[in-house]
Copies of this chain bind each other. A is one copy, B any other.
């Protein structure tokens, strides 16, 4: 049941050096607690790893881990482990000039596959030296990102990718045979790539420990200045994408390999305001709640708005992927994950609008969400009722309910009412943080016949968490509310 927390996405690795990034990750880890983190750019120039030089008229290859070590140290200190992605190409090792993103990741093959192998082997070996073999064996190592798209891999050349995969996988296994390597990290829209890739690794007996792909549910980009709008497919399409690799590999020698959805989100654009809404949390709730039935992990792209693929953002809320904005304002989708993180381990009940769990101590948790209209969010129902009767061991039940919807736990709504301050002053940031907190209510719930009765209404786009605990009532026999202001007679 923890596939949802196995991994989370991030902007390029260099950003992990930043304080705002680390502050955000610390908050995410404190309230959610992901296991791994995956992003691009370990070999980007900004990380400074690949460092050829001349000495005594010869070329030499030096690797520098000044920043890589700072990043990984920070990750481990924050209780999260890398899910490594080998890419993109250092410009001094690249065969061409093509780059992707504002930050110019080079997406061309290496001039020398041997030098690339030395780079991969050296880097992985360094990590093993520094962090220990047991530790690094737990870090999946993925080869490149979305090679099926020409903007991410020159000409989307499958043969070139297969060569790169093989060289990389071999280099990793040179360090240690138990390290986990995988691919092909494809985007949606080229599902056949996985089959071709599987054929290649099977045919050539290339090492592979897991397969990976991405999942998005948005239509083409409709640009506005500093932003994008897109239509969305139903959220179930994401689950279908999660499910596809297992279906494709069924019956092949790769059947049973772990399947990692190494990126997923509604829109693939870092400037689509839908990411900031309550709708987004309710839309994704069933995906995050049930995705684990279809894949071994699915990594929300990304934990923070500190992300620069389209350049530096110009407004606090700019439609970034983040669960958090810069300066750690929580978005509704943050709450979806934070609610899940508070749930009990054992499945009790599930449905189109809820997931209920409990634990051996008798604590029940229910995650519930309102249904959404994925075509016109203004048409989503204003109110949704949920009634559940769940087995409960206590005689009395205390309910803590936490909610986020169009109004509550919704800093984006408050920010719009404030007039959309692009870079809020500290007092505004403080107000936004207060408005971002889920609303908490508490009450006693009726228990009878070993069942606790839940009858709640959800507001439009609400995501809510119910935490129900047995009450051991220690009210003393002398207590009388009527005497709070004394007995006057």
Contacts and interface: CB of A to CB of B under 8 A. Distances in A.
Interface string A265-280: 0000000011001010
A447 to B, nearest CB: 13
A349 interface: no
Given A314-B64, A375-B485, A442 B417 contact: yes
B435 A437 contact: no
A374 B485 contact: yes
A48 B420 contact: no
B74 A475 contact: no
A47 B102 CA distance: 13
B419 A473 contact: yes
Nearest to A51: B314
Contact of A439 (B70, B414, B439, B488): B439
Given A73-B426, A312-B48, A478-B224, A326 B66 contact: yes
Contact of A19 (B17, B219, B274): B17
Interface size on A, as a range, is 35 or more
A483 interface: yes
Interface stretch (A148-156, A180-188, A227-235, A256-264): A227-235
B48 A484 contact: no
A422 interface: yes
A416 B374 CA distance: 42
A174 to B, nearest CB: 21
A246 to B, nearest CB: 30
Most chain B beta-carbon neighbours within 10 Å: one of A18, A402, A475: A18
A345 to B, nearest CB: 15
A471 interface: yes
A400 B442 contact: no
B398 A417 contact: yes
A222 B66 contact: no
Interface in A52-70: 53-55, 62, 64-67, 69-70
B441 A407 contact: yes
A417 B471 contact: yes
A257 to B, nearest CB: 34
Contacts of A381: none
A453 interface: no
Q: Which 4 A-B pairs have the closest CB atoms?
A: A48-B312, A64-B314, A231-B486, A419-B473
Given A62-B314, A419-B473, 7 more contacts: A53-B225, A65-B423, A66-B316, A231-B488, A398-B418, A417-B443, A418-B469
12 contacts: A53-B225, A64-B423, A65-B423, A222-B487, A231-B486, A375-B485, A375-B488, A378-B481, A414-B442, A417-B471, A419-B475, A421-B474
